[in-house]
Amino acid sequence: MEKDIKTKCPHKIDLGAVYTCSPKMRDMVRAGEFVAQYKELVFDIDMTDYDDVRTCCSGASICLKCWPLMTMAMRIIHRALTEDFGFKHLLWVYSGRRGVHCWVCDERARKLGAAARGAVAEYLSLVKGGNNTKKKVVLKYNNVHPSVRKSLQIISEYFEDYVTKKQDLLSTPEKFETIKGLITDDKTLKCLKQLADTDKLGETTVQRWAGLKAAFLSSMSEEGAKCLDAELYEMPHNMKEIMLQYAYPRLDVNVSTGVNHLLKSPFCIHPKTGRVCVPIDINKVEKFDPFQVPTLHELTEELAHWKGEANLHNYKKTSLRSYIATFDRFLKGLTNDPVSDIKHEKMDTSESIHAAVKSF
């Protein structure tokens, strides 16, 4: 693998399915004999899909003001996959530019067919509708799915800071009207009008957000208002829909459904940013900073200026060391799982891939 990488010098490496025969022989077998047998269940979350709910960047651009969207997405999807589906072996990887990938490597996940993969992706999809759709989340009144409730608990940890500080989403009348346009509750709209008519709504995002929360609370019973204080996810129905529309993960379902779909390999160098596609420790996802991820140029500089022990693996001489440690823990968990099909008889393969990464 290392020899081929050095010889062919690819600008990136994509990983796909395990087929019935070697991909290089696909033109040498009869039609229908080259078939994808199994592949990791993968998820692709791209910041571009959040352009309608962020004001700091657009397109491929990202910054620390909008990155909390990725943090929330990773926490929500990870919780759902591990708690609701019982998957154990999830590898989260920074795409190198504007998003994240999730590789679910449990045996039963790898052997899922297209229909089952689509069902999992559909279960995790909540924000629906194109650019011309104003209201993209519609929940059944008083019948919110437990998984959605748990997602709201996660979102509530970030949402107010995201709205008022990170994005300043209510700073202009136009921005405020955008959120107001998602409100369907007549009592809430009436309260907002009263606040506006008496000049109590304010002009800053902080003031308008306080007014919006007050309007929502006015639409609830006294018992409901107490629930809001005790359990953040027990909030006005319409407010749940708005929070989910702004912060719930937006998946590229086609990536998850297609067994033969390709996805960029972990530890590739992104061809446009030069950053390494590094694993993300989900237990430290709050601390992950995409702008601290090493670039190819930085790694070569670190190697060139290394003055420590010469016999170390090259990766240990660079800032890639902690990310390899995350990958190490993932591999050990996968190969040591008593119900995993990746055991001693398969260790040669995993160790050779691991060695190729370490040989950098």
pLDDT at 348 over 50: no
Within a 10 A sphere around the Cβ of 12, how many other Cβ atoms? Answer: 12
Q: What percent of the chain has pLDDT over 70?
A: 91
**Which stretches of the chain are assigned E, i.e. beta strand?**
14-15, 18-19, 36-38, 41-46, 90-94, 99-104, 263-264, 279-280
Q: What is the pLDDT of residues 169-178, one digit of tens each?
A: 998 888 889 9
Greater confidence (294 vs 223) lies with: 294
Q: Between the CA of residue 59 and those of 54, 80, 165, 251, what are the distances in Å?
A: 11, 28, 21, 16
pLDDT at res. 221: 54
Say if residues 265 and 95 touch (Cβ distance below 8 Å). no
Which residue is it, tokens 């081929």? Answer: 4
> pLDDT tens digit string along 327-338?
999 999 999 888
Dihedrals phi, psi of 120, to nearest 5 degrees: -65, -45
Band (234; pLDDT cuts 50, 70, 90)? low
Query: pLDDT tens, 140-164?
Result: 877 889 999 999 999 999 999 999 9
pLDDT at 352 over 90: no
Instruction: Give the chain's mean pLDDT.
Output: 88
pLDDT(231) > 80: no
Could you read off the pLDDT of 5-37 as tens digits, one per residue? 899 988 889 999 999 998 888 889 988 889 999
What integer pLDDT is reported at residue 236 of this predicted model?
85
Residue 324, exposed/middle/buried by CB under 10 A (0-12, 13-18, 19+)?
buried
Instruction: Encode pLDDT of 89-102 as tens digits.
Output: 999 999 999 999 99
Rounded Cα distance, 171 and 85, in Å? 41
Q: Please report, for the chain, the start and end positions of each structural domain, with discontinuous segments joined by +.
A: 2-124+250-358, 150-247
| CATH 3.90.920.10 is right for the domain spanning 2-124+250-358 | yes
Please write the tens of the pLDDT for every residue from 34-70.
999 999 999 999 999 999 999 999 999 999 999 999 9
Q: How many CB atoms lie within 10 A of CB 359?
A: 12
The whole-number pLDDT of residue 343 equals: 61
Mean pLDDT of 283-293: 97
Distance between CA atoms of residues 105 and 88, nearest Å: 8
Q: What is the mean pLDDT of the segment spanning 108-134?
A: 93
Pairing of strands 263-264, 14-15: antiparallel
Dihedrals phi, psi of 89, to nearest 5 degrees:
-110, 85
DSSP symbols for 213-256: HHHHHHTS-HHHHHHHHH-TTS--HHHHHHHHHHHS--B-HHHH
